[in-house]
Amino acid sequence: MSVAAPSAAALAVEGLQSGYGEVQILWGASLALAPGKLTTVLGSNGAGKTTLLRTVMGLLPAWKGTVRFDDRDVTRLSAHEKADLGMVLVPEGRQLFSTMSVVENLEMGATCRRARADRKRSFDQVFTLFPRLAERRGQLAATLSGGEQQMLAIARGLMAKPTILMFDEPSLGLSPLFTMNLFEIIRRLKREGLTMLLVEQNVQLALAVSDYAYVLSHGKVEIEGEAREVRQMEAVRKAYLGL
Amino acid sequence: MSLEALLPSAIDGLMLGFVYGLAAMGLTLIFGVMKVINLSHGPVIALGMFAVFLLFSSFGINPYVGVLAAAAIGLLFGTVIYFVAVDRVINAPELTTLLATFSVNLMIIGVGTVLFTTSPRSVDIDLGALRGSGVTILGTHAVAVVIAVLAAAALYGFLFRTRVGKQVRAVANNRAAAELMGIDSRRMLALAFGIGTALAMTSGALLSTLFAFTILSGGTYELKSFVIVVLGGLGNPTGALVGGLVIGLLEGVLTVFIPVAWVPVFEYLIFLVMLQLRPAGLLGSRA
């Protein structure tokens, strides 16, 4: 909360607690996304990154704390209501509609009224960004390669006309070449001024593209700061960059 | 026991198979979308029969208009069943949802027995018959086939060509992802339950134009639906239709050689063999 006052943030998370069943994972995580900026959340396995995103989106109920979007309390809204408002998550493991075609997956992305009105243009945009998907438009999502599936997952998210786009481990399982491609796309979206939240296991790359970074540990924010400052921190270099 | 009896019987069975298939499509759609084994399926089929019967006997409404009405009532009633009985346990293990729908079964049977008693009813309708060399096709059977085929086609048109239908498929495929894309998954589940119930009621409505029935008659067709659904692959509507035809044909042929009472024995034998050898069904399981 040190940089952006809550009212200036596109998304503000305050003291969020949640978990699965009896097991608490998040212990009061707080963070804020500045509009038009790329924010990254780092942390080792089990630090609570995915739980954070799932709770922010409402796939998991928040036990305590608040999520504010556009200065409005959205903590208790369900995931589809949040998507309707423009909060879009590209989930871990892609989570495509595997038995549906590429085009159908994209159509599902453009479900909310806001996105549906602009569907034609979104299709053009997405097919320009990912020409590969245009070639494979009729194919079932399950038959795409891993890299193509990740493209489709991102494209599907873009079809929703996000105000905030969140990524959960987008480079997981991708070849180095595809990973570079992916980060090129993220850079491009950043230049276009999209507010983004990136959870990524490739810490080096994530810090290189991000404006601001949070380091999550045991369900709480341990370190935060401008990405290039965080990159220089001794603790981060040791724990996450292997330097 | 002659071969001359075989052809007409086979044709009869095959035609009936379309109506069985329609009911099974309802059962398999609900399972495919929300992994709920719907034990209210049988009583709902019986309600379809009574919908046609009551509209016909009390208001003189044409039975085929009654079939349409049964479909509409089914859509509404299924949605109500979903919100009253299924929604609260939708994330619970399968046994819980099975028991929830079983309680709906008991309620319908209980209330239905009080209202309608268990004495047999029938809808008196005669559309004549087509007679060929040794084969007679009753008009009511032919119309039932046509309506069943139209209903199945409508289901496919809905699921694959309309926006809402695709949303139902998306929810069936990956509910969390559908939510993330802004799809109200609860609404889609309720709709799918409504459509499944509508298919069952339509099937019952068609059966009422063919045979006499009581409020308990749905049970037989429910069990048949389960055999058919396993035959066609759980959650696969095309498989259900194909499975319906197989079971219908089998019934038709078997009754030429053995007493009717023995037919279920063979049906469940198939059921067991399928579960052992091809649990994914004849067509394999998709969707």
CA–CA separation, A198 and A89 (whole Å): 10
User: Which residues, 6+ apart, have CB-to-CB distance to B229 below 8 Å?
Assistant: B24, B27, B28, B31, B239, B240, B243
Domain that holds residue A129: 11-240
Interchain contact B170–A (C-beta under 8 A):
yes
| Total domains in the fold of chain A | 1
pLDDT tens per residue, chain A (243 residues)? 444 444 579 999 999 999 999 999 999 999 999 999 999 999 988 899 999 999 999 999 999 999 999 999 999 999 999 999 999 999 999 999 999 999 999 999 999 988 999 999 999 999 999 999 999 999 999 999 999 999 999 999 999 999 999 999 999 989 999 999 999 999 999 999 999 999 998 899 999 999 999 999 999 999 999 999 999 998 888 887 766
For the whole model, what pTM was predicted?
0.93
CA–CA separation, B268 and B248 (whole Å): 14
CA–CA separation, B230 and A216 (whole Å): 48
Interchain contact B187–A (C-beta under 8 A):
no
- B176 CB neighbours in chain A (<8 A) are 59, 79, 91, 95
Nearest alpha-carbon partner for A38 in A185, A148, A142, A174: A185
Residue B287 is predicted with a pLDDT of 38
Residue A38 within any structural domain of the chain: yes
The answer to whether the Cβ–Cβ distance between A78 and B166 falls below 8 Å is: no
Residue A4 within any structural domain of the chain: no
The answer to whether the Cβ–Cβ distance between A59 and B180 falls below 8 Å is: yes
CA–CA separation, B140 and B153 (whole Å): 20
Residue A6 within any structural domain of the chain: no
CATH code for the domain in which residue A189 is found: 3.40.50.300
pLDDT along chain B (287 residues), means of 10: 80 95 97 96 98 96 97 98 97 94 97 95 90 86 96 96 97 97 97 98 97 96 95 91 95 91 90 89 63
Which residue of chain A is at minimal alpha-carbon distance from B181?
A: A109
Residue A185 is predicted with a pLDDT of 94
CA–CA separation, A232 and A234 (whole Å): 6
Residue A155 is predicted with a pLDDT of 97
Of A96, A100, A115, the CB nearest to B169: A100
The answer to whether the Cβ–Cβ distance between B178 and A108 falls below 8 Å is: yes
The answer to whether the Cβ–Cβ distance between A95 and B180 falls below 8 Å is: yes
Assess: ipTM above 0.90. Answer: yes
Strand partners, B193: none
